[in-house]
Every structure is written in structure tokens, then in C-alpha cells.
Amino acid sequence: MSRSLLVTILAFLGVAATQAFVVPQPKCQSALRQQPLSMVRRSSEEYLSSFLGLDGKVALVTGSTGGLGRSIAETLLQAGCTVFINGRKLKSTQQAVDEIAKLVEDEGRVFAAAGDTSDVKDTCAIVEEIKSKVGKLDILVNNAGINLPEAPFEEQYSPDSWGSINKVNIEGPMNMSKETLPLLKKSPAGRIINVSSMIGHVGNGDNSLYCLTKGAMLLFTKSLAADMAGKKDSRNLTVNSVSPGIFMTEMNAKFTEEKEKLASVEATVPMKRLGKPEELAGAVLYLASDASSYTMGADLLVDGGFVAV
């Protein structure tokens, strides 16, 4: 066989093969197939749930029987998480669980994990409770915190007052983070979210010890982020914080219940109003979700512009 004939036969076979195996496609359809997954046609509900990735995640929110913690817990629950509610006493924690469970159809996604997060024995018991109930943890929100009665530094500070606020606001979250890390590291997208405060960023009169603990929270968050980032065993674990401004909560009842006091506090906020708890929950939802997978060691201020202005 001459060389040129062989080339002709091979060329013919090649063309035939191409024609036999390629099914003609209308142009628009093949263009659609090349689009990335995020462009695939689906309902906005499906898009949001896969974008956030919260369905089936397990969250622990410390100090969540009331106030901002409760609002955070309710939001995570409604977004698809299984949620552990934490308060110091079992009875009030269980009562909060019963109320919160009514927000969703599948009530079996809310559990009580009662205990004092400023007592390491309780902290360990809370983690054991989560292990025995569901065997995993994806999201830790270190929310529990206390404030001291307002007073100038020299009156407010004593070894006892420092001891109590340090235990709840700093050591408690440190121990809870430490005890939950083994579980969080196993999560495909572990999250630690610390609740700091706008007055972890700026000073505040008659409140020095609280400011100190919240400032510490910010830098702990960044340091832990530095520890975790890029480590093989911590996979996609991220550590971030939120810094709420002044919110309408029981903790702030002292100045939200009287009209005149409320007006004078509102006047100090650039947006001229206090925050509603669900407005902080939105920020936590973002940090808890897959949508924040590249946000690391960040702090999100939710303060009506207080620190910026």
C-alpha cells in the first residue's frame, strides 16, 4: 500500500469516527454544559441552601437562653443547623429549648447543653453531651459573657471582680474552644465565632474591665486564626469574631426601658437607633456558613456605625 493511500484511509477513518461518535448538539445547549456549577439552573432556595451549606451542620451557642445568643441560635436553627442551647441551669435551658423548637417543623433539631462555661468541669460535660447526642460539632459560637456594674477603674477593679469577668469572658471561651477543637477539626468546614464588642475596639468610661476582656477576645481570635490557618489537621476550620454595638436586649434593659435614657443612648449611635438581635444574627449566619470559607481572623462590626464615625 502506498503511503499516500494509507494516509487517505486513515484520514477517512478519522472523519468517519468523528462523525460516528459526536452527536450534533444545538449550539446553546453545548454552551450551557460548559458553564460552572454555580451557573446551573435551580431554584433560589436550592442555591441559597447549597451556598450557605448549613443543612445538617451542628452548632453550639453558649449563653443562648436569651438575648443575642438566643437570636443567634434561632437563626442557625432556621437556616438548617442542629443547635445546642446553653444556659447555666438545666431547667431554664430546657424551657428555652422547648420554645425555640416551635420555630421549625422538625423539632428534633434543638437540644439542651446546660452548664456553666466558666467552670471547666461543666465545659467538658457540655462537650460530652454533644458527643453522645449527635457525635459531631461544626460551629461554636462563644457568646456567653457578663458585665460588671459601671464604675471608674479604681472602684471597679479588685482581684475578685477581675477574677469573675475574666473567667466568663476570657477563660471560659478559651476552655470551650480547646475542648471542642478535636470535634471542630473533623468538620469539613469548622467554625469558631467569638462574640466581642464594639467596646473591644474603643474605650468606654466606667467599663474598663469589660473593655479589656472584649479587646482580648479580638486578639485571641486573630491568634487562633494564625494557629489554625493552613494546618493539615484543621482542614477548613476558620476563626472569626463579631463585635456588636448596643442592642435591644435584657442586658441593656437599664437604659432601654426609660424613654429619655433610650433617646440619649440612641443619639450616640450614628444610625440613631439600637440594633435588633436578628441584625447581629445575620452576621453570625454569614460567618457560620460556607459562604465565609475564605474569611479568617476577621472581626465584623455590627454597631450602627459607632466605631467607624
Ligand X SMILES: *C1O[C@H](CO)[C@@H](O)[C@H](O)[C@H]1NC(C)=O
**Residues identified as active-site:** 210
The Cα-based distances of 29 to 42, 172, 215 in angstroms read 16, 57, 55
163 binds ligand X (CB under 6 A): no
Q: How is residue 89 annotated by DSSP?
A: S
Cβ at position 194, least distance to ligand X in Å: 4
Cβ at position 12, least distance to ligand X in Å: 46
User: Given candidates 78, 235, 291, 307, which one binds ligand X under the rule CB under 6 A?
Assistant: 235
Residues 6+ apart with CB under 8 A from 139: 57, 58, 59, 60, 76, 81, 190, 191, 193, 288
Q: Which stretch binds ligand X (CB under 6 A): 154-162, 167-175, 278-286, 295-303?
A: 167-175
Q: How is residue 294 annotated by DSSP?
A: T
Give residue number: closest CB to ligand X.
220
| Distance from C-alpha of 247 to C-alpha of 271, rounded to nearest angstrom | 12
The Cα-based distances of 170 to 53, 72, 213 in angstroms read 30, 20, 6
Q: Which stretch binds ligand X (CB under 6 A): 26-34, 42-50, 59-67, 119-127?
A: 119-127
301 binds ligand X (CB under 6 A): no
| Contact letters for ligand X, residues 176-195 (x by CB under 6 A) | -x----------x---x-x-
Residues 6+ apart with CB under 8 A from 13: none
Q: Which stretch binds ligand X (CB under 6 A): 61-69, 173-181, 201-209, 250-258?
A: 173-181
Between 124 and 151, whose beta carbon lies closer to ligand X? 124
239 binds ligand X (CB under 6 A): yes
| Contact letters for ligand X, residues 242-281 (x by CB under 6 A) | ----------------------------------------
Q: Say how many CA atoms lie within 13 Å of 55 toward its Cβ.
A: 7
Between 60 and 281, whose beta carbon lies closer to ligand X? 60
| Distance from C-alpha of 195 to C-alpha of 173, rounded to nearest angstrom | 10
The Cα-based distances of 194 to 11, 37, 61, 178, 250 in angstroms read 67, 33, 10, 13, 20
| Contact letters for ligand X, residues 193-232 (x by CB under 6 A) | -x----------------------x--xx--x--------
User: Given candidates 141, 170, 285, 300, which one binds ligand X under the rule CB under 6 A?
Assistant: 170
| Distance from C-alpha of 142 to C-alpha of 171, rounded to nearest angstrom | 11
Neighbouring CB atoms inside 10 A of 138's CB total 23
Q: Which stretch binds ligand X (CB under 6 A): 13-21, 125-133, 145-153, 163-171?
A: 163-171
Cβ at position 275, least distance to ligand X in Å: 21
Q: Which stretch binds ligand X (CB under 6 A): 23-31, 32-40, 115-123, 295-303?
A: 115-123
Q: How is residue 276 annotated by DSSP?
A: P
* Residue 139: closest CA among 100, 176, 104, 172: 176
Q: Which residues bind ligand X (CB under 6 A)?
A: 118-120, 123, 142, 167, 170-175, 177, 188, 192, 194, 217, 220-221, 224, 235-236, 239, 293
